[in-house]
Amino acid sequence: MALTRENGVIILGHPRSGTTLLRRILNGHENLHCPGETHVLNSCARFIQAEKTANGLDMGVLAGLHFSDIAEEEVINQVRKFGFSLLEQACSKKLGKRWVEKTAVDSNYIDEIDQLFGEHAYFIGIVRHGLDVAISSKDFSDAAGMYLNMFKPYINQYQQPLEALLRSWVDVTTDLLNFSQKHPKNCLLIRYEDLIEEPEEVISHILEFIGEDFSPEIISKGLENTSELGLSDHKCLQQSKITKVNSKRWELLSDFQLNHLSNIANPLLEMLDYDKIETLNSVSKEDALRNYELGLMVNAKKIN
């Protein structure tokens, strides 16, 4: 299918990677409408998901309907039309606008989204430094009092929450990178850090990619608009300007944590043109105990 400027736009990225910031900015464009999270696409993705038996038998809807002589391609086409029709309906009150869909957990269903929508929309993938994503994901989970379903397998497997969330970032971001390489004509990959450093340059590049014109006021218009309600990151909605306050928080982690987490993050960080996290001096048991005692003393003085 040949894409035109009328096709919709899908934002993909691991939760806490800047997807909401990007959504709000693009929503400031006169031809684009990007509301709060609809969960339409990941719901379509779950519809076609299947578990396999030990013998490899697909136990999902595609296999089930096969026995009713409904071809897989027909099911995929109908689910795609259903999902797109809902997004178009959500955008219908914004006359003359193209829909832009952003729901952060869509990134957990990249294979299914590719199967359903991969050749039928523009995609903007956004990546962020993995340790900052892990820290922000933990903050979000603590504030929400729960872990997103996509995080639970990692939380159940790894004792340290930051490691669990970092491994989620590695898997999802690897899938996103592979997706972007598979779809070079309709998927553009950007970095969050570049967006906050050079917002006009990055947004101009995105709009050119999807066939829309750029003007600098798009950014301020999008960020100043707080009237549109919907499921979203409430913290991001409190910002009317692009800030760098949450960038490089990972540098405050302990040497012990950085040593461990760098081994997990570095290969993918380097692939994404981030600086490699240098391995620091290992922390002995004696030093760890001494640091703990110093912390107790400092807190005791604060109380007194």
Residue 212 covered by a domain: yes
In a domain? residue 3 = no
| Nearest-angstrom CA–CA distance, 172 and 214 | 30
Residue pLDDT, tens place only, 83-96: 999 999 988 877 77
Q: CB count, 10 Å around CB of 196? A: 18
Structure confidence at residue 94 (pLDDT): 73
How many structural domains does the chain have? 1
How do residues 15-54 score in pLDDT, each as one tens digit? 999 999 999 999 999 999 998 899 999 999 999 998 888 8
pLDDT at 1 over 60: no
267: in domain = yes
Residue 129 in domain: yes
Residue 146 pLDDT level (bands cut at 50, 70, 90): very high
Question: Residue 250's domain spans which residues?
Answer: 9-303
Average pLDDT over residues 132-137: 96
Answer yes or no: is pLDDT of 189 > 70.
yes
Q: What is the pLDDT of residue 105?
A: 96
Q: What pLDDT, on a 0 to 100 scale, did the predictor assign at position 292?
A: 65
C-alpha pair distances (Å), 285 with each of 27, 171, 288, 292, 299: 52, 32, 5, 11, 21
pTM value is 0.89
CATH number, domain with residue 244: 3.40.50.300
Taking the C-alpha atoms of residue 130 and residue 13, their distance in angstroms, rounded to an integer, is 12
